[in-house]
Chains A and B, each alone.
Chain A
Amino acid sequence: MQKTALRSGMTVNMRQARRRENIAGYLFMAPSLLFFLGFVIFPMVMCLVYSFTSYTMTEFSFAGLANYQRMFQDAIFGKALINTIILVLVSVPITCFFSLWVASIISKMADRTTSFFRCVFYLPVVTGSVAVTVVWKWIFNRYYGVLNYLCMSLGLINRNMNWLGDPSTALWCILTILLTTSVGQPIVLYVSALNNVDQSLVEAASVDGATNLQTFWRIKWPQIMPTTLYILVITTINSFQCFALIQLLTSGGPNHATETIMYYIYYNAFKLQNYGYGSAMGIILALIIAAFSALQFKLAKTDNG
């Protein structure tokens, strides 16, 4: 008798505690959930809805898959897709490799030197995309740019190049700036990951006569794998979203040579007021990014054994 009374008393208490926990949890969550649902999730859902509509300044009607079909027939979209993928495929490996290389050098230095170099490589990120872009526009300028002067003095070219106006060089200019603005964060992450590598394993390896390179691949690389994976994912997302550079430097030109999906979405949605088509391209972009991230996770898993 007494026992059951005690047990039921416990459950009531526990149930009350659980209820309190629920209420408290959601009260604490309330502000962030409100902002998150209102200004991230709701627009995301609406983006999906818009993608099935014909939505312009003058009309708003259900259009089924018309926007998606249109994309496949749109040559400029194809061009933008190819350019975007070139940017991603070139910038992601270079960013990862370069930042790992820099981090492996600077993480061995004195703290002060490490943080100096970390700052230097982070500088273009902090400077801000607009400030960085306008100065590069000057550097690349056909008549007044430093780049032309340097290349001429070194004898690399014999007449001033119109770097941003030439379809064969414009995308590579964009890529260069993109690289300088994307290595900052990976370097910070790699430096901290390399400092966290289990030092006793490294010492054991060097006692066993392993070379630096062997130690790196066998001991350090597996341990920093999670960091590498994270860097791959964020760099991929960043490269896919490259926008400010394009909008301020070339507006997708010359002749769509630097057209990227992000810029083309902007152009369609905010210049032509073609919201439905823009949303559909946004959905496709999101799916492509998700696919790339999933692929990287999968590759990293198999690579890790």
Chain B
Amino acid sequence: MSENIASIQKRMQRKQANTGGDHSVHQITAYEVAALVVLVIIAILFIFPLYWIITGSFKNAQDVIAKVPVWFPTAPTADNYVRLFARPAVRWLINTVFLCAMSMALTCISASMGGYALAKKKFVGRTVVFSVFVCAMALPKQVILIPLLKEMAFLKLHDTLWAVILPTVGWPFGVFLMKQFSETIPESLLEAARIDGAGEARTFIEIVLPIIKPGIGALAIFTFITAWNDYFLQLIMLNDTNVLTISLGIAKLQSELSNDFGLIMAGAALGSIPIIIIFLLFQKFFTRGITMGAVKG
């Protein structure tokens, strides 16, 4: 919190300095112009794949395989989408949304409680628990997939969406992030609640939750986006056509009809546009989540 305020103050000061007749001092150098030009060109290259997905999804069969690329669909068609929805694409989307929403809800509940305990409860073994959480984050997530597959088969959860949800909730990043946010809760507030005779549950709900709400927002959006795009885990756990996610659906389209780019792009658009919209809507939360989650060396 205090860090944020400090940075805002700094920005304000800088803005004032910039507007306060500093223009004559600061001359735009040739380097800055050149850098900006290069930056814009690179930015266009970063946008291009998305542009190509969207325009490609509206191209007709000839435009898609034209020798000279058709930069903008000349005769836009919805045919690719019609063919996409002839497949169980809606099902893929529903599965994905369920998976992401469940992962998000469970992660937020368990991580906000765990993060608060790690930050404010002086229980025996706290340091050990925290160290294990941090170390686990540095390990490659995919390495545990082999035993995880066996475990899910044992629990009879293989080929259900829960096989993806449970490991996502278990990933320690959320607890770590919520600990960072919980550190900002003033000790005096908790003390006051204790003196007022508030129980642990009430303190958590009435004092802690309102303070760490921005953190929960950040974690929610972060988990949602990560779960949406966690292709490897989905690939291993989900085979049945009834439980395919949108990512797996697109991959399936690609492996079945490798040169039907129009249809594949329609799938890619369906898989990416919703999550991009969500990202743009909640961008502020997301950025804060990433920044707060950075381990300060």
Contact = CB atoms under 8 A, between A and B. Distances in A.
Contact of A270 (B7, B175, B236): B236
A126 B229 CA distance: 8
A97 interface: no
B65 A43 contact: no
B52 A146 contact: yes
Interface of B is mostly: helix
Interface stretch (B77-85, B209-217, B259-267): B259-267
B184 to A, nearest CB: 16
A247 B140 CA distance: 17
A85 interface: no
B172 A40 contact: yes
Given A124-B49, A126-B279, A29 B113 contact: yes
B43 A41 contact: no
B136 A28 contact: no
Interface in B47-72: 47, 49-50, 52-53, 56, 64-69
A282 B174 CA distance: 24
Interface stretch (A7-15, A68-76, A136-144): A136-144
A21 B138 contact: no
B279 A230 contact: no
Given A28-B116, A126-B279, A289 B139 contact: yes
Interface residues of B, number: 101
A31 B110 contact: yes
A135 B49 contact: yes
Interface in A278-297: 278-279, 282-283, 285-286, 289-290, 293, 297
B151 A230 contact: no
A36 to B, nearest CB: 5
Interface in B63-111: 64-69, 106, 109-111
B160 interface: no
A143 B231 contact: no
A126 B126 CA distance: 35
B123 A25 contact: yes
Nearest to A288: B140
A61 to B, nearest CB: 16
A205 to B, nearest CB: 15
A185 B151 CA distance: 32
Nearest to A137: B254
B296 A41 contact: no
Given A138-B56, A269-B145, 4 more contacts: A44-B147, A149-B67, A226-B296, A286-B140
27 contacts: A25-B121, A27-B200, A28-B116, A31-B109, A35-B110, A35-B169, A39-B166, A42-B151, A43-B146, A46-B147, A105-B32, A117-B39, A120-B43, A120-B46, A127-B49, A130-B247, A130-B250, A135-B53, A144-B259, A146-B52, A196-B10, A230-B296, A240-B140, A265-B142, A275-B146, A282-B142, A282-B144
